[in-house]
A and B are shown apart, each in its own frame.
Chain A
Amino acid sequence: MAMDFDPSGRLPAFFQNSGTSSFTQFLTQAAPEMLPGRRPLPPGMAADIAPHGTTIVAIATAEGVVMGGDRRATMGNLIASRDIEKVHPADSYSLIGIAGTAGIGIELMRLFQVELEHYEKIEGTMLSLDGKANRLAGMVRGNLGAAMQGLAVVPLFAGFDLTPSDPARVGRIFSFDVAGGLYEETGYDSIGSGSLFAKSALKKKYRPGISTDEAVRLAVEALYDAADDDTATGGPDLTRKIFPVVMSATANGTHRLSEQEITAVAEQVVSGRMENPGG
C-alpha cells in the first residue's frame, strides 16, 4: 500500500481529507494499484486465459427482487468450477450478480460491497438505489480497456428500493453494458451466455406482482432452461447436490435461500421436467 513512511507515524494526510465518501476515490490516492482498470495490459486478446461466469437472472416481485445464478464457470471447453457463487448481497437491501471474467467480476463485486458500506459509514446514511446503480456503472466503465481485450465483466444489479417513487415498484433491476451504460429493466432480466434462453423462459412465465416464492421457482426454472441450451450454464447437479444460488431482497433485508430450501425447489423443478422436458 502506498502509505508513506512518515516518521511521526501519523496516518497520511489523505486519510483525514474531508473530501470524498467514496472508497474507490480514496483508493486512487491510498492504493491505486488495487483498483481494477488501473492496470496496464499487454496488447492482444486475453479472453481465454481466465474462467468465465455465466448466467444470472433477476425477477422483480411484489415484495422486492429475487436473483439467481447458476454455479458453473468455464474456460474454453472446460468447466473451471462447478460451484462458483456469482450472486452476492451488495448491501442490506440490494443484490449483485456477475457474468464474464470471473476474477475481475469478483473483484468488482467486492469493491462495490466495500464502496456501499464505506459510504454508509462515512455519511451515516445509505445511498439511494439509483445512486448505487450509478456507482456500479462507473466501476464497470473503468474496466472498459480490459473488456476490449476480452476480459469483460457485466454485472446485474437489483434491490429493494427504500424510497420508491411508485409504491408498487419496490423491487428494481438494473443492467449494464461493458461501456458502463446503465439500463433499468422492467419485471425481469438476465445476463450471461445463457441469458437468451433464460429470458425467453421468463418472458413466458413472468407476470407482474408475483410473490417471492413463485419468483424463486421461476428463477430456477429459467436457469434450468438456460442450462438446457447453453453449454456454459450449469443445471441443478443432483449427484453432487450443487444447486443455483438464489437470493432475495425485501423490506426485511437480503436473504439467501438455505441449502434445504433451494434443494427442495430444484428437486421440484427437475421432477417437473421429468414429465415435461420443455417446462
Chain B
Amino acid sequence: MAMQFYASPEQVQRDRSEYARKGIARGRSAVVLTYEGGILLVAENITTLRKISEIYDKIGFAAVGRYNEFENLRRAGVRMADLNGYSYDRRDVTGRGLANAYTQTLGAIFTETQKPYEVEICVAQVGSSPETDELYRITYDGSVMDEPGFMAMGGQAEAISNVLRERHDTAADLPAALALAAEALGSVGGENGATRQLTTKQLEVAVLDRRRKGRAFRRIAGAALSTLLEGGQDVPEKELGDVDAAPPSPATDKPTVSAASEEDAKDKPATSKAAEPKDPAEPADGVNGDGS
C-alpha cells in the first residue's frame, strides 16, 4: 500500500489559496464603482463571453477568473433570484441574500473539493442613492466583503484599487466614472509599467441605472460606448442624456444579429468576434423597451 504523506490542514488550505490566487491573477481585471446615476461595471474583455451580467431588477454580477466556474455561479444566481422572485415578490430578491448564497457555495467548494474555484465575483445592488448602493466582493474561499463604493478584482487588483481609491467620487457622472474605470484598468499591464489606453473593443461595460424602473441593468456598447469613452466631457449634454436614458441594448439581448450573420461578417475578420454589439443604426437599437 502506498504511503500517504501527511499534509497539515493549514498547508492544504494555503496550497489551495495559492492555487486559486494564481489562477485569478492570470486573467484580466474588472472594476465596479458607484456613480451619481447608478453603479458602473467595467471589465477588460476582448471576447464575446460575458464577465458582466444581469441577475435581477437591481442586481448585477461581475466576475474574473475561470469562465466556466463563474458562469456556473452566475447561472445559479439567476436561478435563485428568479425562483425567489417568482415565489415571493420581485422586491424580495436582495443582493445580500445572493451574496450569502455565493459565499456559502464558494466556501463549501473551497473546503470540500480538491480544486477550489479560481474566481472572484462581485454582486452589486443599486439603490436610490449612492449611499444605499451595495457592493459585495466574494472570493474563491467564500469570504465576503462589503465594499465602500468601488472595487477591483483580478490580477493586480491592488494597483487598480489604488487608482480608484484616490479619485473615486460618488457624485461623478457616467462619462467621468467610465473614464476613471478605463484609466484604472489601463494603469496596469503595460510594457515596463506604462499605462495603456483601453479601447471600446477591449471593454465590456454595463450600468445599473438607479433611475430606471424595473430592470435597471443595461449594457453600454458600440456607438454609445465610443461616444462616452472618446468624447468624454466634450460630448454635448443632450447626446449624453440620450445615451443615459436609452439603453443602447436590448441590442445585446435581442436575437437579431448573431456573430455569424452577414452584417457582422462583412465588416469584420472572422477571428475577431469581439463584443461588438449590433449595428447601432438599426431601428430597435438604443430604444428603451418598457417592460415594466
Binding site for B on A (CB under 8 A): 1, 6, 8-11, 15-16, 18, 23, 26-27, 30-31, 34, 89, 91-93, 110-111, 114, 117-118, 120-122, 124-128, 162-163, 251-255
Closest to B90 in A: A114
CB distance from A167 to the nearest CB of B (A): 11
With A251-B283, A253-B287, A254-B291 as known contacts, state yes or no: A126 contacts B254, CB within 8 Å.
Answer: yes
How far is it, in angstroms, between the C-alpha of A23 and the C-alpha of B79 when the chains are bound?
8
How far is it, in angstroms, between the C-alpha of A110 and the C-alpha of B288 when the chains are bound?
22
B55, B86, B256: which contacts A34 (Cβ < 8 A)?
Answer: B86
B205 at the interface (CB under 8 A from A): no
| B112 and A162 contact, CB distance less than 8 A | no
B101 at the interface (CB under 8 A from A): yes
How far is it, in angstroms, between the C-alpha of A117 and the C-alpha of B217 when the chains are bound?
13
B50 partner residues in chain A, CB cutoff 8 A: 124
| B80 and A162 contact, CB distance less than 8 A | no
With A11-B101, A92-B289, A253-B288 as known contacts, state yes or no: A118 contacts B75, CB within 8 Å.
Answer: no
A11 partner residues in chain B, CB cutoff 8 A: 76, 80, 101, 104-105
Give the residues from 11 to 46 in chain B that come closer than 8 angstroms, CB to CB, to chain A: none
CB distance from A248 to the nearest CB of B (A): 11
How far is it, in angstroms, between the C-alpha of A36 and the C-alpha of B101 when the chains are bound?
27
| B108 and A26 contact, CB distance less than 8 A | no
With A126-B255, A163-B256, A253-B291 as known contacts, state yes or no: A121 contacts B80, CB within 8 Å.
Answer: no
B53 at the interface (CB under 8 A from A): yes
B147 at the interface (CB under 8 A from A): no
Closest to B84 in A: A1
Residue count of chain B within 8 Å CB distance of chain A: 37
B53, B54, B55, B109: which contacts A10 (Cβ < 8 A)?
Answer: B109
Give 19 A-B pairs besides A124-B253, A251-B287 with Cβ atoms closer than 8 angstroms: A10-B105, A11-B104, A11-B105, A16-B73, A16-B76, A26-B83, A31-B83, A110-B86, A111-B86, A114-B82, A114-B85, A124-B252, A125-B252, A126-B254, A128-B255, A162-B284, A252-B287, A253-B289, A255-B290
B87 at the interface (CB under 8 A from A): yes
A162 partner residues in chain B, CB cutoff 8 A: 254-256, 284
Give the residues from 71 to 99 in chain B that come closer than 8 angstroms, CB to CB, to chain A: 72-73, 75-76, 78-80, 82-83, 85-87
Binding site for A on B (CB under 8 A): 50, 53-55, 72-73, 75-76, 78-80, 82-83, 85-87, 101, 104-105, 107-109, 112, 215, 250, 252-256, 283-284, 287-291
| A252 and B108 contact, CB distance less than 8 A | no
How far is it, in angstroms, between the C-alpha of A18 and the C-alpha of B287 when the chains are bound?
32
| B82 and A23 contact, CB distance less than 8 A | yes
A31 partner residues in chain B, CB cutoff 8 A: 83, 87
With A11-B105, A18-B72 as known contacts, state yes or no: A126 contacts B112, CB within 8 Å.
Answer: no
How far is it, in angstroms, between the C-alpha of A8 and the C-alpha of B252 when the chains are bound?
37
B105 partner residues in chain A, CB cutoff 8 A: 9-11, 16
| B86 and A114 contact, CB distance less than 8 A | yes
How far is it, in angstroms, between the C-alpha of A15 and the C-alpha of B104 when the chains are bound?
13
B75 partner residues in chain A, CB cutoff 8 A: 15-16, 18, 122
Closest to B56 in A: A121
With A18-B72, A253-B290 as known contacts, state yes or no: A92 contacts B250, CB within 8 Å.
Answer: yes
How far is it, in angstroms, between the C-alpha of A122 and the C-alpha of B71 when the chains are bound?
9
Pairs A–B under 8 Å by Cβ, sample size 6:
A6-B108, A9-B104, A10-B108, A30-B79, A110-B86, A114-B85
The 6 closest A-B pairs by CB, nearest first: A92-B289, A253-B289, A9-B104, A8-B108, A10-B108, A10-B105
